[in-house]
Structure 1
Amino acid sequence: MAIKAATPRDTDTIIFGAGIPNYYTWWKSFEPNFDPSSEAPDDWRYTVTAEHPKDEQATVTKEIGHTDLMRAVRVVARKDSGHRETLRKECNNLIFNVDECDMDASDADVVLQLAVYGEVIFG
């Protein structure tokens, strides 16, 4: 079987298209560097603003791109990551077989928290 890793467009669609802001109040805004009514370019970036982990009245802002998300995905996919098996499976699908990837908002939230905070803070 050939490896088919997620492209930048795949990670945009899978992570940011999962409906995260509809379910999780700690995500305040996602501002893309492209017209969101068109397909994301390969060099897409989002400026993500989220609740500060130690002060819910403050926020954290970080620019996130495909490489940042894939780095987080690799952390989750490891057998010793401590994350649930279904999430690890979807992260492995992003790395090796993107056509089989079926992340929901909960899965995408974990990946995005790792990319923004460096760890899972909420949930």
Structure 2
Amino acid sequence: MESVTPQDTYAHIVGAFAFAHSWWDVDSVEGAVHPIDDVADDWKVSGFADDPYGEEGAFEYAFELTHADVMRALRICADKDQRQAKYVSELCSKESLRMLLGNADGCDFDAKRADEVVQVAVFGKVHYG
């Protein structure tokens, strides 16, 4: 079993266009350039999200996302018995578990599933989607 690298989390989550949805407004990406072949261990994405508890379109919820944040979210998404994973899709749960088990190359996160992981990392659960 291979460990999940920062390259893996960046490529499969950020690289899957998780931030393409209207509730994300990314200000900066540090430690990564396109193409995504050379990603720093300390990559970070920061910006604002549409606050799920506030006015729609206000973008008042500041966030930072790192490899460690994605790893924590993958663990939550992979465990469907956790209350936090309540709104995580079955496919996201399956792909999260596959990645955690060291099969990053076999993962198939699309933008929707990657967005679920980011929402869990940023908000603690899936609000949108």
TM-score scaled by structure 2? 0.83
Distance between the aligned counterparts of 1:94 and 1:117, measured in 2?
21
Q: CA deviation at 1:59?
A: 2.0
When residues 108 and 75 of structure 1 are mapped into structure 2, their CA distance, relative to the original with a 3 A threshold, is same
- 32-41 or 50-59, larger mean C-alpha shift: 32-41
Structure 1: which 5+ residue stretches go unaligned?
none
Question: SS at the partner of 1:55?
Answer: coil
Q: How does 1:87-98 map to 2 (within 5 A)?
A: 87-96=92-101, 97-98=103-104
Distance between the aligned counterparts of 1:8 and 1:35, measured in 2?
10
Distance between the aligned counterparts of 1:4 and 1:35, measured in 2?
22
Distance between the aligned counterparts of 1:5 and 1:35, measured in 2?
20
TM-score scaled by structure 1? 0.87
Q: Is the counterpart of residue 99 in structure 1 residue 98 in structure 2?
A: no
Distance between the aligned counterparts of 1:30 and 1:12, measured in 2?
16
Distance between the aligned counterparts of 1:29 and 1:79, measured in 2?
29
Q: How does 1:1-123 map to 2 (within 5 A)?
A: 3-22=1-20, 24-34=21-31, 36-37=33-34, 39-53=38-52, 54-56=54-56, 57-80=58-81, 81-82=85-86, 83-96=88-101, 97-123=103-129
Q: CA deviation at 1:30?
A: 4.9
User: Is the 8 Å Cα contact of residues 26 and 45 (structure 2) preserved in structure 1?
Assistant: no
Q: CA deviation at 1:13?
A: 0.8
Aligned residues: 120
Q: CA deviation at 1:92?
A: 0.7
Q: CA deviation at 1:35?
A: 5.1
Q: CA deviation at 1:42?
A: 0.8
Question: SS at the partner of 1:121?
Answer: coil
Structure 2: which 5+ residue stretches go unaligned?
none
Identity %: 36
List per-residue Cα deviations over 1:66-99 (Å, max 9, x = no partner). Answer: 0111101100101314433221110011101212
Distance between the aligned counterparts of 1:71 and 1:107, measured in 2?
15
User: Is the 8 Å Cα contact of residues 19 and 115 (structure 2) preserved in structure 1?
Assistant: no
User: Is the 8 Å Cα contact of residues 31 and 46 (structure 1) preserved in structure 2?
Assistant: yes
Q: Which has the higher strand share?
A: 1
RMSD: 1.7
